[in-house]
Amino acid sequence: MSRVPGGVGERVGEEVQVERGPLGPAQFWRGQSRYVVGELLDSWVETAPWWQPGAAGSGGASAELVASRQVWRVEAVRAGRSRMSFAGVFDLSWQSADNRWSLVRVHD
């Protein structure tokens, strides 16, 4: 089961700070909490949905229509915790247009 952040203290597209390694995110911060990436599970590129406001102009295709974000699915653990009992799976995205990292999904 997965969920989009939206509970207490969580926001959809919550901005996070990320330190990249050679293959993708190595660690990230949510507020004051640091998470260490133990394993890269998957990665892919997503394009913006055409139906979102501003994705396509009335005069034809626009730059946002082909704008993409890179997404990494990682297994990570809060710093100082045991990976065996406290690991979680997170989807982190990077949008090159605004050089911004976001937490887009947490898997239970």
Q: What is the mean pLDDT of residues 47-55?
A: 65
Q: Quick one: pLDDT band at residue 57, thresholds 50, 70, 90?
A: very low
pTM: 0.73
Using CB atoms within 10 A of its CB, is residue 76 exposed (0-12), middle (13-18) or buried (19+)? buried
List residues bridging with 94 in a β-sheet: 70, 101
Domain parsing of the chain, residue ranges: 14-47+67-107
Q: Quick one: pLDDT band at residue 66, thresholds 50, 70, 90?
A: low
Q: Of the candidates 96, 88, 108, 99, which has an alpha carbon nearest to the alpha carbon of residue 30?
A: 88
Number of Cβ within 10 Å of residue 91's Cβ equals 21
